[in-house]
A = this chain, B = another copy of it.
Amino acid sequence: MADHLLIRAAFRQPVERTPVWMMRQAGRFLPEYRAVREKADFLTMCKTPELAAEVSLQPLEAVDVDAVIFFSDILTMLEPMGLELTFGEGEGPRFPDPIRTSADIDRLSVVDPADGLAFVGDALHLCRERIAGRVPLLGFTGAPYTLATYAVEGCTGKNFNHIKRWYYREPETLRRLLEKIADQVTVYLNYQIENGAQAVQLFDTWAGALSPEDYREIAAPYTRQVIDGLHRDGVPVILYINGGGHHLDTMATLGADVLSLDWRTDMAEAKRKYGATHCLQGNLDPCALYGTEARIRQEVQRVLDAAGKVGHIFNLGHGMLPDIPVENARCFVRAVKELGVHG
C-alpha cells in the first residue's frame, strides 16, 4: 500500500493533502485510553496484544489521524536482552540493575525478537487487521544512544552523569554497549517490518543533551548502523530527536527518509537546508493545543506555510500532553486536513 498519504509524503512524492498524526496519540488524553489503563498497568498493556491493539486504534477512531502507531514503549526491547524493566506508578521507567561496567555489558545478549518480543509481532498483526488498509501502521523503538542512556543511568536522569562520565573516561567500553544495542535495534525493527510495520520511527530522546561533536562521535554512528541494516523496501525510516535541532546536519547524513523536528526547530530553515533530500515531520508545540480554535488554526497554518506541500508529515514537535481536551486534538487534525489540501 505505497499509496498511503503518509508513505508518499515520506518519500517526497506528490500528495493531495498533508498527512497528520501525533506522537503519543495513543495516550492519556483519550478517556477510552484511561479506561483501559485503569484495568492494566503500562507494561501489561504493552505485552498484551489485544490491549495494545485496542489502544493503538483509539486515536484513529477518536481523532481521525492519518496513521496508527502501535502501542508500546521505546524501552520494551531491552528487557529480553537481559535488563529487567519496571514502571512504578507515577514514576518513569526504571532498570533496577543498570549497566555500569564492561562485565555488565557481557551479560546482555542480542535475541531473536520472535522469542522475547513475540507480543509485538502479535500486536502489529492485530493492528493491521483492524486498520483494514485505511491508514499505514507505524513501528518504532528507541535509538541506540537513548537506549544505552536508560540502560546505564537506570532511570530518567537529569544530567546523564553516568553515561557521560563513561564517555569522557572510557569511550571504547561504552562503544561496545552501543554496538550490541544497535544490533538488537536492527533485528527488532526488521521484525516489526516483517510483521506489518509500514514505516518505522527511531526516537533518540536523550541525544538532544549531547553537543554536536559528541552526537557525531557517540550516537550518530549507531543510528546509522541500524538504518543501514534495515530491510526497508518501501518502508520509510523516520528519525526524531527531542531538542535535536543542533544535530540536523548530522542526522541528515544517516540514511533516514524523514527528519522529525521538535517545536524548537525553525521549520522554514530546515526546509531550505534539508527539504531537497528529506521529508520533514513536525513540528507544532504540543502546548499550542491548549489554544483557542482560532489560535490552533493559525499555528497550523504557520507550520504548513513553512513546510510547503511536498515532503511534509504534520505532527506535534513532541508527544501529546495528557491534559489536552480531546476536542482540541480534533480541532488540530481537522485544521491540518482543511488547511493542508493542495490543489
A residues lining the B interface (CB < 8 Å):
159-161, 164-165, 167-169, 208-214, 243, 245-246, 263-266, 285-288, 290-292, 295, 302, 317, 321, 323
Inter-chain contact A264/B208, CB cutoff 8 Å? yes
Can you report 10 residue pairs joining A to B where beta carbons are below 8 Å apart? A159-B321, A160-B287, A164-B290, A167-B287, A168-B287, A168-B291, A169-B292, A169-B295, A211-B285, A245-B246
Inter-chain contact A285/B164, CB cutoff 8 Å? yes
Contact with A161, one of B167, B210, B263, B290 (Cβ below 8 angstroms)? B290
Chain B residues, Cβ within 8 Å of A265:
246
Inter-chain contact B290/A165, CB cutoff 8 Å? yes
Contact with A164, one of B214, B287, B302 (Cβ below 8 angstroms)? B287
Contact with A264, one of B161, B209, B292, B323 (Cβ below 8 angstroms)? B209
User: How many copies of this chain does one complex carry?
Assistant: 2
Residue of B nearest to A208 (CB): B264
Chain B residues, Cβ within 8 Å of A295:
168-169
Inter-chain contact A291/B169, CB cutoff 8 Å? yes
Inter-chain contact B246/A323, CB cutoff 8 Å? no
Complex alpha-carbon distance, A46 and B291, angstroms: 39
A159-B287, A164-B285 known; A263-B211 Cβ under 8 A = yes
Most buried by B among A246, A286, A302, A317: A246
Complex alpha-carbon distance, A292 and B88, angstroms: 36
A212-B264, A295-B168 known; A161-B243 Cβ under 8 A = no
